[in-house]
Structure 1
Amino acid sequence: MKATLILANGSVFSGTSIGSTSDRICEMVFNTSMTGYQEILTDPSYAGQGIVMSYPLIGNYGVNSVDNESGRPWAEAFVVRHLSPMGSNFRCEDTLDSYLKKHNITGIEGVDTRALTKILRSQGSMNGMITCAEHFNVAEIMEKLKAYRVEGTVERVSRKEPEDCPAYGEEKYKVAMMDYGVKQNMIECLRRRGCHVTVFPATTPAETVLSGGFDGVMLSNGPGDPADNVGIIAEVKKLYESNIPLFAVCLGHQLMALATGAKTGRLAYGHRGGNHPVRDLEAKRVFITSQNHGYMVLADSVDPAVAEVSHINVNDGTCEGLRYKRPNCFTTQFHPEASPGPQDTEYLFDRFIASMGGDK
C-alpha cells in the first residue's frame, strides 16, 4: 500500500506503508544509530515523536521479547529506507513489520532518508504526517501540523504505582528512581551493582522519597520540553536541598538545572544516536555516548556558585553534564546506560555508588 509523508515545511515523500495504516501526526526526528531499533522504539523519551532512521537497512535481525526498554513502544511513527522482510538472528522472535502492526505504529519505507535527514538537520525537527490516503488536502494537513505539539508526555509514560526491583546478588544500597520515562537498562545498571531500586511515578512528592530510607536518588530520562514540568521541578528542588546523593540523566539533568535556577533551550534538531562524542573535562578524555534529547541546559545560565559544567559535546560545544557544588550531586545529558549504544560511560554509575559510600 502506498504511503505519503508530509512535512510542515511542505516537503512530500512517497513510499510504501509498513506497520499500521492509520494517519499519524507527530514531531519528526532522526536517529543515526545503525542498530538498536527495538530499544529506540521502546524508549519512552520518543513519546509523541516519529523516528527517521538514517541508516538505510533496518529490521535485519528482527525483534525479541528481551530487548525492550519499557513495557511498550512509545514512538508514534517509523520511517526507514529499507525494511528487511525477515530477521536473521538466533534471538529473533518476529519481524519488525509485524511488531509495528501489533503496536499500532504507523510507518513508511522506500523514503530517501538521507534527503529527509538533511532537511531535519538543516531546518530543524518539525512536525509531519504519514497517511495512506490516495487523496488528501495539503492545506488542511498543514493546519493540523501547525497545531500539533508534544505535551503531557511525562505523566503519560511514567509508572502509575511504585515498583520494587531487587538487587542482583547481595543488596548493598537502596535507590529511589524517579520515573520520568526511565529506560529499563538504567534500572539494570543499578541492580547489577547491588542496588535495590524502587521506581516511583513522576509526580511522587519529594517528602515520600526522602522519608523512605534510601541511600540515593536517580532522576531518569524522559520526553518533552523540561520547562513544562513545573510541579515536578518544584519536587526536584526539594530533593536537591536535602543531603541525599543525587544522579540525574537526560530529562532529569535538565529538571535539576531548572530547579537550581538555570535555563534550558531547544536544540535545532537534537542529539539522537549512539555515536556522539562527549568530553569529560575532569578526566580530559572523550567518550562516545548514546543520546536522545531535543533540549539542552544553557551553560551560560548556570550559576557558578551552584554548579560547573563537567562534560561538553565535542560536535557543538553544548552542555552535556553538570557537577554541583552541593556534595554528591552530578548530572549528565547523555545516557550512561546506553541501550542502544556504547557502554563507555557506565563508570558514572560507579561514581554514583561511590557517592552513597562505595562498596560495602
Structure 2
Amino acid sequence: MTLSVTVRQAFGAFTLDAAFEAPRGITVLFGRSGSGKTTVVNAVAGLLKPQSGRIAVDGHVLLDTAQRIFLPPHRRRIGYVFQEGRLFPHLTVRQNLGYGRWFAPKEARREDFAHVVEMLGIGPLLDRRPGGLSGGEKQRVAIGRALLSAPEIILADEPLAALDEARKAEILPYFERLRDEVAVPILYVSHSAAEVARLATTVVAIENGRVTRAGPAADVLGDPAVTPLGPREAGAILETRVLSHHDDGLTELAAGDDRLFLPRLPSAVGTPVRVRIAAQDVMLSVPRPAGMSALNILPATVADVRSGDGPGAIVSLDTSAGRILARITRRSAAALGLAPGTACHAVIKSVAVAPENVGGSSR
C-alpha cells in the first residue's frame, strides 16, 4: 500500500506546499519544529482541510479539492499514535485494545490480537490499567489499539517526544518490528536525526514548508545538501551485519568489504544492523593512519566537498560500506587537498557511535 500526499495551505506569511509518496514501512517527515510536519499529518488525518491538495491510499481518495472530495476524520481508516498514550484510564489494557477493534470495519482485514500483543510485548499488561503503566508501556498499548482498528494508514506524531531516554530505548525496537511486519504505510513525525536514521525506510525532509528531498533513508541522509537540522546533525546510514562478538566487549560488523567494531551489541551473529555514523565523529586522513587508537579505518573516495558560510565543510565519501559524511574545517579540507576523486581514509572511533544510533535493519 502507498499513501500519496499533495497539500498546499497558507498560514499568513508561512505556506506549506508539499508532495510525496509514503510506501509500506515507516516514512519519516523530518525537519525542525515549525517546518510543517504536523500540518501534513493533520491534513492526512482529516483534522485540517487544506486550501488545495489530494490525498489517497492505493486509489482510495481521502481528499481531492479539485473534485470537492473531503472524507471527515471518522470515515478515514487511520490509526493515530499521539505523543501521549491517551488511553482510557478506567479500562484495562485488554479493554483499551478491544476499543480499537470495535472501530474496525467488518469487511476489513484485521490484525490478529495475539500477534499484536506478542509483537508489542504487552501480554503481561493486559489486566492492568493505564495508571500503573510506564510511559513506554502506554505508548505500546496505544500502538496496539491503533493497529487493531484495521487502519489503512498509521500516523505517529512525535510519539517518543514525551519519553525520557530510557523509555525511548525501550520502545524503539517495537517500532522497528512495526516497520518490518505491518503492511500499511506509517507516517512518522520526528526532528531527531538518530530516531530517523534508526527507524525510517523513507525520509521526507521538510524545510520552511517545502519538501527538499524524499526517498530511501540512506540516500536522503547521505546527501550533504539535506541538513534540515543544520550541519551539526548531519550523518549517514550504513547497513551492516553482525559477524562476531569478541571477548573484549566489542562486536564486529561486516560493512561491505570492510569491518566495523562497536561496543557489544545484543544482536545475534548474522543479524542485519543499521548504524548511523554522525559526520562530526569522522576524521579524515589521506595516507592510511598508523599508531592510532581508533579501530575503524575505512578506505574511501571523496565524492563531494560542500563548504558553508562558516569555517566548516561536509565531505561526502564513497566506501565499500556505503556513503559516509565527514564534518571537518575548510582549512583541513584544503590542507589535505580533498576534491572529488581523492583517495583517503575515514577514521571512526568505536565508542563515538552511541547506542541510540544502532538498530535493526529494515532489509
Q: TM-score range by the shorter chain?
A: under 0.3
Greater Rg by CA: 2
TM-score (norm 1): 0.27
